Chain A
Amino acid sequence: MKDRTLVQVALYAAIFAVLGLLPRFDLPFAAGVPITAQSMGAMLAGVMLGAWRGALAMVLLLFVVALGAPLLAGGRGGLGVFFTPSVGFIFGWIAVAFVSGWLMQALRKAPVFPAALIAAVLGGIVVMYAFGIAGMALVGGLTVMDATKACLIFIPGDAIKAVLVALIAQTVARGMPEALLSRNA
């Protein structure tokens, strides 16, 4: 593994953690709904780093959380989080980063904003909820239908996050094109 790859993986794992430590963003059209910025970290890791490095960043994050660091939103962490009904979402982040990174690489010929939006929506919403709903159904003992209903309230927040990720990718592509590693590696 190259030095730079290792540092970038560690960097995006750290960015994910910092997104959870920051006070809640006042997202434009989600007044009153508490949204943690954190799941955006998984989409960002994929969109910026590409499939494998993005997924590795999430693996590293979960590893450090399991070691006992309270790095998830609200100071949660340790082994306990892997036994909550939201465990599907937690493991889902690895798949989110991988799928959005893979899509971003597959769409490298397309303009950045639409490519990143497609990657973030398919990876960050479709894939994440597939994992999240499965986890909720298994751990919570619900039927898949009920688990889906229980998860639906979070989708508007994640849609906003997907748009933000696309905007960030576009700004980064303008300001520091070589930073968008999913496009040039």
Chain B
Amino acid sequence: MISLYLTQRTWLHAIPAGWKLLALALVSLIAAPLDSLPVMAGLLLAVLALYASLGKAALAQIALLRPLWPLFLILLAFHWWNGDIIAGLVVLARILAMVLLANAVTMTTRMDAMMDAVEPLLAPLGWFGGSPRAVALAVALMIRLIPLLFALWEALNESWRARTGTRGGWRLLAPFCIQTLRLSHHTAEALAARGGVPRGTRR
């Protein structure tokens, strides 16, 4: 799995996750209603300067925007068609700046630090009989299931290929669902045997 996290430490890594999330939320609230091209271009330049200050590895991450270009071209084409190319450029600059800024937070914050930062926000779950710890368990369970499911898919694909010589593709989806559900029954039983889903709020 390609990680979005930068292993090389930068100054942005040192800032607590909560502050970074708060800053991101504030910038996005402020930038949303603004529609002057110089301001948006300035914001984009500032974000690019932020990337430059984080080093080469961070700048390389800008390549993550590549799959979005077709969408950007379509957006610009629609604005151009409506005779307001400036509005299109403002929108484009705002999207680029916000996506890159949000990505900078993801890039410099470990997933567990992010989880800790948002855990207080999950406290209201307790009022409905839920538990922040159950959320943490669901997250861990889901991440652990991904490689398992991937291996399961590969195994189905292999046996399909052994029988037919072609790739199974979408035909494998139904047996895949059945097998994964069987897997989930075993997981649920194992979980119950170990005391079940946590209910309290303390670790």
A81 to chain B, nearest CB (A): 8
| Selected A-B contacts with CB under 8 Å, 7 pairs | A2-B197, A7-B191, A10-B145, A68-B114, A77-B106, A79-B24, A167-B174
For the complex, count residues of A whose C-beta is within 8 A of B.
63
9 closest Cβ contacts across the A-B interface?
A78-B106, A171-B174, A79-B102, A14-B145, A80-B103, A83-B98, A10-B141, A141-B91, A4-B188
Using CB atoms, name the residue of chain A closest to B131.
A1
A162 to chain B, nearest CB (A): 13
Q: Is the CB of A77 within 8 A of B146?
A: no
From 137 to 185 in chain A, residues with beta carbon under 8 angstroms from any chain B beta carbon are 139-143, 146, 149-150, 164, 167-168, 171-172, 175-176, 179
Q: Is the CB of B2 within 8 A of A70?
A: yes
| Chain A residues with CB below 8 A from B15, complex form | none
Does A126 count as interface, using CB distance less than 8 angstroms? no
Q: Is the CB of B184 within 8 A of A79?
A: no
Does B155 count as interface, using CB distance less than 8 angstroms? no
| Chain B residues with CB below 8 A from A21, complex form | 1, 146, 150
From 25 to 78 in chain A, residues with beta carbon under 8 angstroms from any chain B beta carbon are 25-28, 37, 44, 48, 60-61, 63-64, 66-71, 74-78
Q: Is the CB of B138 within 8 A of A60?
A: yes
Residues of A bordering B, CB below 8 Å: 1-4, 6-11, 13-15, 17-18, 21-22, 25-28, 37, 44, 48, 60-61, 63-64, 66-71, 74-86, 139-143, 146, 149-150, 164, 167-168, 171-172, 175-176, 179
Does B54 count as interface, using CB distance less than 8 angstroms? no
Sorting the interface of chain B by its residue count into under 10, 10 to 19, 20 to 34 or 35 or more gives 35 or more
- Give Cα A88 to B33, complex, Å: 18
Does B57 count as interface, using CB distance less than 8 angstroms? no
| Chain B residues with CB below 8 A from A74, complex form | 67
Q: Is the CB of A67 within 8 A of B197?
A: no
Does B52 count as interface, using CB distance less than 8 angstroms? no
Find B177's partner among A79, A84, A149, A179 (CB 8 Å cutoff).
Answer: A179
Find B184's partner among A1, A8, A27, A86 (CB 8 Å cutoff).
Answer: A8
A91 to chain B, nearest CB (A): 15
Q: Is the CB of A78 within 8 A of B130?
A: no
